[in-house]
Amino acid sequence: MLNELKKECIRLRVEERLSYRQIAKRTGARKGTLSAWLQDYPLTAEEKKRLSDVARVKAAKTNTKERLPESKYYRMVDESDLSRCQKAKIAEAAILFRLCLFGHSTFGSVFDGDKTDWLVEVSSKKHPVKIQVKWVKKPSRGGLPTISLTCVKGHNQVCRYQEGDFDFVVGYDFRTDTAYVFSWDDVKANKRTISIRPDCAEAWDKLRY
């Protein structure tokens, strides 16, 4: 499995001349791993400039804050009327639906206050994948909706999640009925929140790598 992934990453570099980011998006491979695998297949200065220009254009389009259309569920109720508990249950149920839809065996944590909402058996993994589910928050003043990377410990003390608390954090956007899948590597550099990204929308293939 790993050998096949490496071959595909090398092919994408050699034949399609893709960047680390593009290959990671296409295959789910980590950038650190790609750095080791592709060190003998560097891009030229011209290729790097071209990719950089494409990335800038794409970022500019993303910053226009175009959103997906509102879902029928969002139009049925006023989100402001939902309690924090309701939001948590809706988000967890929405993610469970998707996990079951894609054939994953899924289990809930048996411990109250556990940071893992769902444990997921993935064929390519030796151990169950730990998923933390979050409700996507509306932007307070412009910008994109965000996912919180904090939790409450002890006497209502708000803390940043630490490595090992989860393998993936999945934000559920009730407005568009869309799940955004982020790995630990995707969010580890962020302090308290991460903005939703089109490339992470329903990116369930990430669980396999």
pTM of the model: 0.67
- DSSP class of residue 190 equals -
- Classify residue 193 as left (phi > 0), alpha (psi -120 to 50) or beta: beta
60-69, 130-139, 175-184: the lowest-pLDDT one: 60-69
Q: How does residue 64 score in pLDDT terms, banded at 50, 70 and 90? A: very low
Q: SS in 3 state form for 6-49?
A: HHHHHHHHHHHCCCHHHHHHHHCCCHHHHHHHCCCCCCCHHHHH
CATH class in words for 72-208: alpha beta
**C-alpha span between 3 and 175 (Å, rounded):** 40
Query: Where are the chain's structural domains?
Result: 2-62, 72-208
**C-alpha span between 76 and 90 (Å, rounded):** 14
**C-alpha span between 75 and 80 (Å, rounded):** 12
Distances in Å between the alpha carbon of 101 and those of 90, 94, 105, 204? 16, 11, 10, 11
* pLDDT tens digits, one per residue of 13-59: 999 999 988 888 888 888 888 988 999 999 998 888 888 877 766 65
25-39, 98-112, 170-184, 192-206: the lowest-pLDDT one: 98-112
